[in-house]
Structure 1
Amino acid sequence: MRVLFVHQNFPGQYRHVAPALAARPGTRVVALGENAGEALPGVQHLRYQPPSAASEKTHRYVRRLENAVYRGQQVARAGLALKERGFVPDMVCCHPGWGEGLYLRDVFPDARMLYYYEYYYTSAGGDVGFDPPGPVHIDDAARVRTLNANHLLCLQASDWGHTATRWQASRFPDWARDRLSVVHEGVDTETIRRLPDPAFTLPNGATLRRGDEVVTFIGRGLEPYRGFPTFMRALPSILERRPNAQVVLVGGDEPHYGSRPREGGTWRAVMLQEVGERIDQGRVHFVGKVPHPQLQAILSLSSAHVYLTYPFVLSWSMLEAMANECLIVGSATPPVQEVIEDGRNGLLVDFFSPVQVADAVVLALAEPEAWWPLRRAARQTVVDRYDLRSRCLPDLIDLIDDVAAGRRPRLGGSRDLVPPGLG
């Protein structure tokens, strides 16, 4: 079997499944991506040319669609070049979120196509209209509806789709969910586990070790979508009530979701201007983006890990924190509630309440031994539901094999899989 993976930032969600397929006898795996990515065993990684940007004169509703068309065109050209070199896939696995999947059906009409659908936008019940809460203006509602044009075209082109969680699946129309399975990319719990003797050296030269009070926060971008302002507003209370606590924030200043502050600059600068005089900045450590081994050490040191999110895509970092037996202080929003049950495997707080965040963190720091049942339950949740080797990778390979063979997948569609809070 010849398999083509397409992802703007390959490997992305295909990090484990692409080399697993490449290891099977008689299987050739090629990947297309815009960025260089990392080398994976057995996978030939090729790059397509970056697309042009949409014109500022384009109507703002369709700017993202125009960008998707440009990207889809570049991927189609790269696909045609592959055909000229003799590679015609039997199976295409594609993340179409940036437009990659728009024209693959036209390039490879006989291939089976399995697309990874990450998020379907609506003007209610998701990220739009959440912060600030309230009715969405018709202009924004129309813009949001148009955001789905790329996905709708790709749903028509693909044979089947999949997404990571039940809640993410619930965002899609019922007719789409009939051909949309739920299978997470998986967490390698054999590797991602609490280290016996972790240490992490801070930017100021001090080293954190086992037994220190460490509050952790992770986001690819320090931004409102991941609750960064709420966390920062909780810090004055946390640091005042726990004078030995150290706070470690992992993530870059560039927003990954949403926009920059209206006044310009970064969200970190905005929040430090708001709360900086009320916190001991010598105990608040912005470490930027760190290599995974260092992230593992940080999570293994965590006394309380705060994860807040809009109703949006669930971060890998939360599941990895749970696999490290972190005590999660999470937002009571649907993506988190699908995984965290308050008082059983973590603590849930109001996304908008710095008071609740601070109270939960202070309680965790004051009674560290009392929370080990929740910490162990957090890891067990990930092992039972999201383990890479025993569950997610086999499920994804089965899904690929079923679609490649033209069978209805054994995982089935997601129409009847209702996440907590929606049933």
Structure 2
Amino acid sequence: MKVLCIHQNFPGQYKHLAPELVRLGHEVTALTPKVKEPTTWNGVTVLPYQIRGSSTQGIHPYLTDFETKILRGVSCCNAALALKTQGYTPDVILAHHGWGESLFLKDVWPEARLGLYCELYHRTSSDFLSFDPEFAKDPSLRDVQRIRMKNLNNRMHEEVMDAGISPTQFQAGTFPAAWQDRLTVAHDGIDTDLVAPNPGARLTLDSGEVLSRDDEVITFINRNLEPYRGYHIFMRAVPEILRRRPNARIVLIGGDEVSYGAKAPDGKSWKQIFVDEVRGQIPDADWARVHFLGRVPYGRYLSMLQVSRAHVYLTYPFVLSWSLLEAMSAGCAILASDTAPVREALTEDETGWMVDFFDRGALVDRLCALLDDPGARARLGTAARAHVQGTYDLRRHCLPKHVDWVTRLATQAPRPARD
């Protein structure tokens, strides 16, 4: 079987699947703008394509997002046409369609089966659009219209997809009814052999100080520190946490940019905005116990999870972070927001504790209770790891599901593109 992977940041979600398909004897090729020259990665032939064109000055803001996807789609299509002239025809195309790259590939290879990684369909209901009243201040219909237009890429892909795969039931459920009979739910998978408890773990801070499991370490992780992942809620709780936990160290991982939602105002970062908001409430001696590590290598990230005494995870109703499942796999005692994507992975008082996303007082109270109860921490951490091993383990559960999905996709009749 010939498999073509499309991802703007390859391998992305195909980090494990693509090499596994190679191991099983399939020919796997990837098209990506990430590389400049053809290369080989874990048996995958990785070919570059260049994104050509630029955004139109003065274009209506509702169209800006879609225009960038058109540029990527056309550029990827041109690279596919060049491959076709060389005699290449894939049996299956696997694409994360979120950047528009796969929009026109069915026009190049109509007999190929197109399988999409379906991460999220943007919704305009209040649960999504105005979940956090602090950042939902536009009283007009502009946000509704903008989000609906943001789904143009999703809608056009629905017309050409043969099948889709989503990592969680919550994410799959955001897609309309017309998608559902073609969607399979299978998480990308957690390497629970690698992400495991380590009683001897050590985390070296930027100061050179070393933390271990003997220390009271509270951890918080975002790809980028921003409201979608509850950074503002956590930071507003930090003064009281420090006051009530005189020996605690608070360690945060995350960048200064934006992964989701709106950019911070006035050219600032969300990180700094909420540091500035709370800093005046915290004595210097206590502030010295707050450690921002920024973005870190994976090994240091694992060490942070392994020394954590309590891990806080907050999120809007949105894509579930890998960091939650990896924290569970590492045996962390979890305190998480009681939001829909979390409830799919975590069960209250079985694999973690949950609080209302906005209830800062409850967050502090339950965090302190968790830190004061080693028995509860041990019970929750053990159960959390067992749950991830039994449900989200990469090699034993998730990767076989993805391989099976690709195999089934290859055997079905290509679905004609709908105009």
**CA displacement 1:276-300 (0-9 Å, x = unmatched):** 1223221111101111111111000
Aligned to 1:257: 260
Aligned to 1:399: 405
Aligned to 1:110: 111
| Residues in 2 aligned to 1:244 and 1:192: alpha-carbon distance in whole angstroms | 27
| Residues in 2 aligned to 1:137 and 1:344: alpha-carbon distance in whole angstroms | 43
| Residues in 2 aligned to 1:348 and 1:290: alpha-carbon distance in whole angstroms | 27
Aligned to 2:319: 313
The alpha carbon displacement at 1:369 in A equals 3.0
Aligned to 1:60: 61
Secondary structure at the residue paired with 1:379? helix
The alpha carbon displacement at 1:307 in A equals 0.7
Secondary structure at the residue paired with 2:116? strand
Secondary structure at the residue paired with 1:369? helix
Secondary structure at the residue paired with 1:175? helix
Aligned to 2:367: 361
Judged with a 3 Å threshold, the aligned counterparts in structure 2 of structure 1 residues 407 and 106 are, in CA distance, closer, same or farther, namely closer
Secondary structure at the residue paired with 2:318? coil
Residue type of the alignment partner of 1:271: F
The alpha carbon displacement at 1:67 in A equals 0.8
| Residues in 1 aligned to 2:195 and 2:71: alpha-carbon distance in whole angstroms | 38
The alpha carbon displacement at 1:126 in A equals 4.6
Secondary structure at the residue paired with 1:32? strand
CA contact (8 A) 1:54 1:64 kept: no
- Please identify, of 337-346 and 135-144, the stretch whose mean Cα deviation from structure 2 is larger: 135-144
CA contact (8 A) 2:225 2:270 kept: yes
Judged with a 3 Å threshold, the aligned counterparts in structure 2 of structure 1 residues 281 and 52 are, in CA distance, closer, same or farther, namely farther
| Residues in 2 aligned to 1:296 and 1:275: alpha-carbon distance in whole angstroms | 28
Residue type of the alignment partner of 1:11: P
The alpha carbon displacement at 1:225 in A equals 0.5
Aligned to 1:165: 168
Aligned to 1:275: 278
Aligned to 1:17: 17
Aligned to 1:227: 230
1:323 is aligned to 2:326 = no
Aligned to 1:421: none
The alpha carbon displacement at 1:347 in A equals 0.8
1:337 is aligned to 2:371 = no
Residue type of the alignment partner of 2:15: R
Secondary structure at the residue paired with 2:331? coil
**CA displacement 1:249-270 (0-9 Å, x = unmatched):** 1110011111222233111111
Aligned to 1:201: 204
Aligned to 1:128: 129
- Please identify, of 47-56 and 253-262, the stretch whose mean Cα deviation from structure 2 is larger: 47-56
**CA displacement 1:208-248 (0-9 Å, x = unmatched):** 01210101111110000100000001111111111110111
Residue type of the alignment partner of 1:256: S
| Residues in 1 aligned to 2:140 and 2:42: alpha-carbon distance in whole angstroms | 49
| Residues in 1 aligned to 2:49 and 2:355: alpha-carbon distance in whole angstroms | 44
The alpha carbon displacement at 1:39 in A equals 6.5
TM-score (normalised: structure 2): 0.93
| Residues in 1 aligned to 2:289 and 2:144: alpha-carbon distance in whole angstroms | 42
Q: Which of residues 173, 179, 183 is equivalent to 1:180?
A: 183
Judged with a 3 Å threshold, the aligned counterparts in structure 2 of structure 1 residues 154 and 126 are, in CA distance, closer, same or farther, namely farther
Residue type of the alignment partner of 2:205: L
Q: What pairs up with 1:20-59 in 2 under 5 angstroms?
A: 20-25=20-25, 27-36=26-35, 40-59=41-60
CA contact (8 A) 1:126 1:310 kept: no
1:214 is aligned to 2:221 = no
CA contact (8 A) 1:125 1:311 kept: no
The alpha carbon displacement at 1:56 in A equals 3.9
| Residues in 1 aligned to 2:128 and 2:208: alpha-carbon distance in whole angstroms | 39
1:379 is aligned to 2:382 = no
| Residues in 2 aligned to 1:351 and 1:270: alpha-carbon distance in whole angstroms | 19
Name the count of aligned residue pairs. Answer: 407
CA contact (8 A) 2:213 2:309 kept: no
| Residues in 1 aligned to 2:141 and 2:338: alpha-carbon distance in whole angstroms | 28
CA contact (8 A) 1:303 1:368 kept: no
Residue type of the alignment partner of 1:195: N
| Residues in 1 aligned to 2:263 and 2:40: alpha-carbon distance in whole angstroms | 33
Secondary structure at the residue paired with 1:278? coil
| Residues in 1 aligned to 2:289 and 2:17: alpha-carbon distance in whole angstroms | 41
Aligned to 2:296: 290
Q: Which of residues 244, 248, 251 is equivalent to 1:245?
A: 248
Judged with a 3 Å threshold, the aligned counterparts in structure 2 of structure 1 residues 248 and 52 are, in CA distance, closer, same or farther, namely farther
- Please identify, of 280-289 and 310-319, the stretch whose mean Cα deviation from structure 2 is larger: 280-289
Q: Percent identity?
A: 43
The gaps in structure 1 that reach 5 residues or longer are 409-423
Secondary structure at the residue paired with 1:72? helix
Aligned to 1:88: 89
**CA displacement 1:127-182 (0-9 Å, x = unmatched):** 31112177963221111111111111111111111111101111111121111111
The alpha carbon displacement at 1:303 in A equals 0.7
Secondary structure at the residue paired with 1:157? coil
The alpha carbon displacement at 1:47 in A equals 2.2
The alpha carbon displacement at 1:355 in A equals 1.4
The alpha carbon displacement at 1:84 in A equals 2.8
| Residues in 1 aligned to 2:328 and 2:58: alpha-carbon distance in whole angstroms | 46
Aligned to 1:148: 151
The gaps in structure 2 that reach 5 residues or longer are 415-419
Residue type of the alignment partner of 2:287: Q
**CA displacement 1:28-55 (0-9 Å, x = unmatched):** 1111222249974111112221344422
Secondary structure at the residue paired with 1:184? coil
Aligned to 1:71: 72
1:99 is aligned to 2:100 = yes
TM-score (normalised: structure 1): 0.93
